[in-house]
Amino acid sequence: MKTAPLKAPPKDTAKAAVVLLSGGLDSATAAAWAANAGYRLSALSIAYGQRHAVELDAARAVAQALGIRDHVVLPIDLAAFGGSALVDATIPVPQGRSAAEIAHGIPSTYVPARNTVFLGLALAMAEARGCDAVVLGINAVDYSGYPDCRPEFLRAFQEVARLGTKAGVEGRPIELLAPLVTLSKTEIIRLGLSLGVDYGLTTSCYSPDAAGRPCGRCDSCLIRAEGFAAAAATDPRATR
């Protein structure tokens, strides 16, 4: 698992990767980082029954902006299991919480085993495409309450990828690249701006209105707003 910035390989030896693209700020930044590092990208987005399905439109816009032509939007109904405010409308999305509250415990917006499922699907797509890596934008600093956003989870899944795929057992393991995992939201935004990411295409809100406008009060909106403020940058999504 690599988390440090990479130098772009020579064009004639450029590697290929599948990027998990949610349409959010983090995944857009991770995709731009990988493109800048010389990876030829395919993208995977998951329609998992999320209440904030507007993020799928954002993912399509980000993929188009980055020139990613191979973009799969895969339906997987995690709403059938429930257990999260993101897939069950009867569970309220937390709003107006303090930074201390956000940092404490596992929130109701955690979707059971979501990143395990998503990484398994991305790994399958990467192996089918003959890719060298899977790129994901998970972050353990601002989302420390999510167990599937932590470095130890990634290290364990890297071993799963090595042991559980044909590519892995034949000595060509697919690498997990998580360039943002140890960065704060402010650092992620600064990185993305340096790479030319158009954050106006992205959405982070867990509880947008019918028009897709962010609520401004859920945990994700608050973390995003604080990140832009600390980076002394304007969030183009918030000014629409």
Gap between the Cα atoms of 164 and 174, Å rounded: 11
In which element (H, E) is residue 215 found? none
Do 9 and 38 contact (CB within 8 A), yes or no? Answer: yes
pLDDT at residue 238 in the model: 78
pLDDT at residue 13 in the model: 53
In which element (H, E) is residue 61 found? helix 54-65
Do 208 and 173 contact (CB within 8 A), yes or no? Answer: no
In which element (H, E) is residue 135 found? strand 133-135
> Residue 22 pLDDT more than 60?
yes
Q: Is 225 left (phi over 0), alpha (psi -120 to 50) or beta?
A: alpha
Gap between the Cα atoms of 117 and 11, Å rounded: 32
pLDDT bin (cut points 50, 70, 90) of residue 237 is confident
> Residue 5 pLDDT more than 80?
no
> Residue 38 pLDDT more than 80?
yes
pLDDT at residue 240 in the model: 56
pLDDT bin (cut points 50, 70, 90) of residue 25 is very high
The mean per-residue pLDDT over the stretch 24-30 comes to: 97
Do 31 and 59 contact (CB within 8 A), yes or no? Answer: no
pLDDT at residue 7 in the model: 46
> Residue 111 pLDDT more than 50?
yes
The mean per-residue pLDDT over the stretch 102-125 comes to: 94
The mean per-residue pLDDT over the stretch 136-144 comes to: 84
pLDDT bin (cut points 50, 70, 90) of residue 141 is confident
Tell me which of 64 and 100 has the higher pLDDT.
64
pLDDT at residue 6 in the model: 45
pLDDT at residue 239 in the model: 56
pLDDT at residue 3 in the model: 46
Mean pLDDT of the chain: 92
The mean per-residue pLDDT over the stretch 182-204 comes to: 96
> Residue 191 pLDDT more than 80?
yes
DSSP 44: E
> Domains of the chain: which residue ranges?
11-230
The mean per-residue pLDDT over the stretch 4-24 comes to: 72
> Residue 12 pLDDT more than 80?
no
Distances (CA, A) of 209 to 27, 50, 61, 214: 22, 14, 19, 7
Task: Give the range among 10-24, 90-104, 186-200, 210-224 with minimum mean pLDDT.
Answer: 10-24
Gap between the Cα atoms of 3 and 10, Å rounded: 20
Gap between the Cα atoms of 126 and 121, Å rounded: 9
Domain 11-230 maps to which CATH number in 3.20.20.150, 3.90.190.20, 3.40.50.620, 3.90.1570.10? Answer: 3.40.50.620
> Residue 129 pLDDT more than 60?
yes
pTM of the model: 0.92
Sign of CA dihedral 32, 187, 3, 43: negative
